[in-house]
Amino acid sequence: MLKTFKIGGVHPEENKFSAGAAIEKLPLPETVSIPVAQHIGAPAKVLVKRKDEVKVGTVIAESGGFVSANIHSSVSGVVQKIDNVYDASGYRRQAVIIKVEGDEWEEQIDQSDELKKDINLNQKEIVDKINAAGIVGLGGATFPTHVKLMVPEGKKAEMLLINGVECEPYLTADHRLMLEKKHEMMMGIRILMTALGVQKAAIGIENNKPDAIEELRKISVEYPGIDIVPLKVKYPQGGEKQLIKAVMNREVPSGKLPIEVGAVVQNVGTAFAVYEAVQKNKPLIERVVTVTGKSVKKPSNLMVRIGTPVENLIEAAGGLPEDTGKVVSGGPMMGKALNDLAAPVTKGTSGVLLFKDSEAHRIDYEACIRCSKCVTACPMGLEPYQLMNYATHEMWKESEADRIMDCIECGSCSFTCPSYRPLLDYIRLGKSNVSQIIRSRKQ
């Protein structure tokens, strides 16, 4: 029997239209807008000014704190201005706008396709190099990778867990990466194992990607200590706590991190980026993005430079369909609607999803019928209907007591509600308020 997590979960329609589309390089845009806050933590501090010339890989903003990440130019050209632009969150944020000229790379970056298998750095040198390259979690959370590799005193990493689940419907970027960059990804995992000092790693992959499972199993004999673990298809198995339960059968306690049970979780895209940073001196300046939707002419997986306008990706996938009602950054369960198609691709952009107008509108919600489907679906064992009630009446003390901060915002509750209640919207509101209360308590 295939492994999976035990509590909750749903099975949305998969719609992986782009699964067979090989990764294509998107042509360079005329300008890029590179935000300095593309990660969890403090925004990076801008190092360049108007009219400065930059190359691909030039540091344009340095880490703004312990939990932060460097930002590099993804193109060569001239800095036009430092300005605020709309990003995928819908807010205007500081960005470096660069007019593209040619495609000149920093000399130390190895652009060859040669696979480099010798790891010549020690643990600290690897972590320092990942830090310098601005690597963050590419599964969507964008947590700085070097911080995850610094195991707190008194804790011990036992296993590196690689997230190859890609449980969000529609998205296929990780799937294609596992097929097309498998050796580079496996080397990235070996590097991460060295950085953590662990002997064991496992790649969790849902069983709807049998080609990826087969390919990685074939080559895993070349990479000792790395197991391939097929998983039952169930959303949200890509959540850290759900993946740890599925693969290791361990439960991360409420409010704690995976290291509490000896696990460190990284995404397959992150492992690939780590390989390029450590073995090729290449900072995080591009990533794979899925562009898809039921009316999209050419569902695609594109290798895109950071800062490229989303509208360029849509054009490459056949243009904006006439029946488009909403464009979402990310997947349908956890993604966010874009209010500006000029918004730039960032390190956390995994997909661009075009909903038809007939799919884009919410149905008027009705009263809760006490069916408890949201409770059954919640993978964290919460009571979403109750958390929505608390948020409606601003009952923050009760929200905190009922573990609202444990919500991973997967949307399973809203997906399964027969009354179409906006459960997740209210839970997010509750989390925001409770988070502020917790922070003020610590000051």
pLDDT > 90? residue 432: yes
The answer on 415 and 325 residing in a single domain is no
pLDDT exceeds 90 at position 243: yes
Over residues 278-282, mean pLDDT = 98
Both 249 and 114 in one domain: the answer is yes
pLDDT for res 398: 97
Is there a single domain that holds both residue 288 and residue 421? no
pLDDT at 140 over 80: no
* For range 295-321, the mean pLDDT: 98
167 annotated as a binding-site residue? no
User: What percentage of the chain carries pLDDT values higher than 70?
Assistant: 100
Task: Based on the fold, state whether residues 275 and 416 are members of the same structural domain.
Answer: no
**380 and 349 in a common domain:** no
The verdict on residue 102 lying in a domain is no
379 and 419 fall within a common domain: yes
Nearest to 113 by CA among 184, 18, 192, 215: 184
Is 90 within the bounds of a domain? no
Confidence band of 246 (pLDDT split at 50, 70, 90): very high
Q: How many domains does the chain have?
A: 2
Domain boundary, last residue among 313, 337, 361: 361
Pairing of strands 92-100, 226-231: unpaired
pLDDT for residue 240 is more than 80: yes
Percent of the chain whose pLDDT exceeds 90: 95
Residue 424 lies in a domain: yes
C-alpha 225: how far from its chain's center?
25
Confidence category of residue 172, pLDDT binned at 50, 70, 90: very high
Both structure tokens of 60? 């344009």
Query: Is the distance from CB of 40 to CB of 143 less than 8 angstroms?
Result: yes
Q: Is 210 helix (H, G, I), strand (E, B) or coil?
A: helix
According to DSSP, the β-strands at 351-356 and 286-292 are: parallel
Local confidence band at 30 (pLDDT 50, 70, 90 cut-offs): very high
Q: Mean pLDDT across the chain, nearest whole number?
A: 96
Contact 439, 400 (CB under 8 A): no
Asked, for residue 133, whether it belongs to a domain, the answer is yes
Q: Is residue 142 part of a domain?
A: yes
pLDDT at 362: 87
Residues 335 and 435 in one domain: no
The answer to whether residue 79 is domain-embedded is no
Assign 1 a pLDDT band (cuts: 50, 70, 90): confident
CB burial string 285-319: b at 16+ within 10 A, e below: bbbbbbbbbbbbeebbbbbbbbbbbbbbbbebbee
Q: For residue 443, name the pLDDT band (cuts at 50, 70, 90).
A: confident
Answer left, alpha or beta for residue 141, where phi above 0 means left and psi between -120 and 50 means alpha.
alpha
In a domain, 54, yes or no: no
- What mean pLDDT do residues 58-63 have? 97
Residue with tokens 């919410």: 362
Question: The dihedral of CA 148, 150, 156, 161: what is its sign?
Answer: positive
User: What is the torsion angle, in degrees rounded to the nearest 10, for the CA atoms of residue 183, residue 189, residue 191 and residue 193?
Assistant: -150
- State the pairing for strand pair 45-46/23-25: unpaired
Structural domain containing residue 263: 1-28+107-361
pLDDT at site 90:
84
pLDDT digits (tens, 9 = 90+) for 64-118: 898 999 999 999 999 999 999 998 888 899 999 999 999 999 999 999 999 999 9
pLDDT at 270 over 80: yes
413 and 321 in one domain?
no
Whether residues 303 and 390 share a domain: the answer is no
380-405 confidence digits (pLDDT tens): 999 999 999 999 999 999 999 999 99
79: nearest Cα among 60, 52, 106: 52
Q: Are residues 242 and 341 in the same domain?
A: yes
Q: What is the pLDDT of residue 88?
A: 85
Buried b or exposed e, range 94-130, using 16+ CB within 10 angstroms: bbbbbebeeeebbeebeeeeeeeeeeeeeeeebbebb
CATH number at residue 14: 3.40.50.11540
Strand 226-231 relative to strand 59-62: parallel, antiparallel, unpaired? unpaired
Query: Does the annotation flag 374 for ligand binding?
Result: yes
The answer on 338 and 377 residing in a single domain is no
Cα–Cα distances in angstroms (integers) from residue 289 to residues 114, 177, 309, 339, 374, in the given order? 24, 10, 12, 19, 31
Residues 222 and 243 reside in one and the same domain: yes
User: What pLDDT digit, counting tens, does each position of 109-133 carry?
Assistant: 999 999 999 999 999 999 999 999 9
- Residues 340-358, mean pLDDT to the nearest whole number: 96
Answer yes or no: is 61 within a domain: no
pTM of the complete model: 0.95
pLDDT class for 221, splitting at 50, 70, 90? very high
Give the end of a domain, one of 361, 392, 416: 361
